[in-house]
Amino acid sequence: MKIISFLVLIMILNLSAQESREDLYENIDLDDNDKITKATIKQYVNSSFNVSAHNANFFLPFSYRSEDSYYDLKDHNHDDPPKQLESEFQVSIKYDVGSNLFNLDEIYTVAYTQKSFWQTYTNSAYFRETNYNPELFITMPLRVNKFTSGIRGARIGFAHESNGQGGIYERSWNYYYTDLYFQLGFIFMDLKLWQPFGSLNYNPDLMDYLGYGHLRFVVPYKKHIFEVKFKSAFNGHNSYDAHYTYPLFGTDDVFIFIKAFQGYGESLIDYQTNVSKLGIGFSISR
């Protein structure tokens, strides 16, 4: 009976979260967009705040790195040196466990993201690196007034990220963050700022390469979405991460996914390496 009661409680909380997700969508100004663009924006917002997709879920069978200066893996059970062409995929899910406890339409969410770099074109086809990123956060819409013009929502949370290895290959950190979401006409932005806490013994200079935040721009046009994210540690260590998606096969749940990356922090094992990379594949969420 306790298990049944718990499941019923989760269902009630999730229904409440669905109502709050509708409030988040209704908080967006859609007056200046045509019908197709409106549908794309709603799909993007729902995938940003629903019970399944968190960040993009994608698979890139072809991801080419223009430099082969990988972190040295030769002493780490890999006799087969990594190639410049590899595969890359990301799985990112979340679950809204409840909402509106303080009558602010806030949503309480747990999330998990896993990003893997797969050397599919080597003889042994090993995983060169995998990063794990669990999170807990609260998201809420912000009502538009003279003090919050352009701001559509805010998120606060804390997270852990690591590569699951040990010894000299371990990379990990804990951090809490604040994320603000803006709309400027048809352009969406988010400004995310983070602060590490706890030990950085395994990567003491991590923040010198990741910095303390990012600025992301999302531009939906009809069925297209263009996205670019900038990070800088303000010491010459910058990164640019750009995505383009478009529906495939006339559906609304499979997309062509093109990803370009330039700079530092692409993966934890290689956070000190300046990486240039281009990949193409598909995604099942935006």
Residue 15 has pLDDT above 60, yes or no: no
| Contact by Cβ (8 Å): 204, 173 | no
Tokens 């923040």, residue located: 207
> What's residue 73's pLDDT?
53
Q: How far apart are CA 281 and CA 258, in angstroms?
A: 6
Residue 149: which domain range?
A: 2-283
Residue 6 has pLDDT above 70, yes or no: no
Say which amino acid occupies 248. L
Residues 189, 190, 196: CA angle, nearest 5 degrees: 160
Q: How far is CA 27 from CA 21, 102, 184, 250, in A?
A: 10, 18, 13, 29
Beta strands in 142-274 (DSSP E): 151-162, 172-184, 187-197, 213-221, 224-232, 238-247, 255-263
pLDDT band for position 67 (cuts 50, 70, 90):
confident
Single out the residue of 96, 124, 89, 129 nearest to residue 283, CA to CA. 89
Q: How many domains does the chain have?
A: 1
Mean pLDDT calculated for residue range 227-251: 95
What is the pTM assigned to this prediction?
Answer: 0.81
Residue 156 has pLDDT above 80, yes or no: yes
Residues 286, 130, 171: CA angle, nearest 5 degrees: 120
> What's residue 181's pLDDT?
95
For 17-27, write each residue's pLDDT tens digit: 656 666 666 77
Mean pLDDT calculated for residue range 106-130: 94
Residue 11 has pLDDT above 60, yes or no: no
Percentage of the chain surpassing pLDDT 90? 63
Per-residue DSSP letter, 53: B
pLDDT band for position 166 (cuts 50, 70, 90):
confident
> What's residue 253's pLDDT?
83
pLDDT greater at residue 97 or residue 39: 97
Single out the residue of 131, 129, 130, 119 nearest to residue 81, CA to CA. 119
For 25-66, write each residue's pLDDT tens digit: 677 777 666 778 877 877 776 665 555 789 999 999 999 999
Average pLDDT, the chain: 86
Beta strands 85-99 and 58-65, pairing class: antiparallel
> What's residue 56's pLDDT?
93
Question: Could you tell me the CATH number of the domain that includes residue 137?
Answer: 2.40.230.10
